[in-house]
Amino acid sequence: MKRNEEKKSPAERCAGASGGDKSLTYSVFLRGLALDVVVGVLPEERLAPRRIILEVEAVCAAPADPAADDIRAVVDYRLIRQAAVDAAAGTAFQLVETLAVRIAEAIVAVPGVREVAVTLDKPGALEACESVAVQIVRRRAE
């Protein structure tokens, strides 16, 4: 990597391929991220953490040189996972929608992430349903 490239943030290094084409993106997916949180409106739901399952699609700016094979030129998916974990830690929301928004806001703040879709599954929330899920889509403010 060139010396001046080292000073740039991940978002700047991921400005896009083909001469800075900002319309070129790629997605990072996290599938089946299990977290234990307090979430629900019923009194029995507020007694102890319950397992929720996250699906995340983070739309990221494509690296300026996709052939570089350099972790510094892309969004590190470990940062996306950690943002989700940190956003959910210690929370106690009534609504899964509120928790999904909190997680989406944390992920879209990761440098290089332009947009994120967070699907939050709450297994066993309704009788005769495997799970109830909500999806929140958040775009980075330009």
pTM: 0.83
> Residue 33: in which H helix or E strand, if any?
strand 25-39
| CB atoms closer than 10 angstroms to residue 4 | 7
CB-CB contact of 71 with 93 (8 Å): no
84/38 Cα distance (integer angstroms):
15
pLDDT in the model for residue 23:
77
Going by pLDDT thresholds of 50, 70 and 90, the confidence category of residue 119 is very high
The catalytic site residues sit at: 122
User: How confident is the model over 125-136, as a mean pLDDT?
Assistant: 95
Which residue type, as a one-letter code, is found at position 20?
G
- Angstrom distance (rounded) from CA 131 to CA 12: 39
Mention the CATH class of domain 3-139.
alpha beta
Segment 20-50, tens digit of pLDDT: 567 789 999 999 999 999 999 999 999 999 9
Distance CA 16, CA 62 (A): 5
Q: What distance, in Å, lies between the first and last C-alpha atoms of the chain?
A: 27
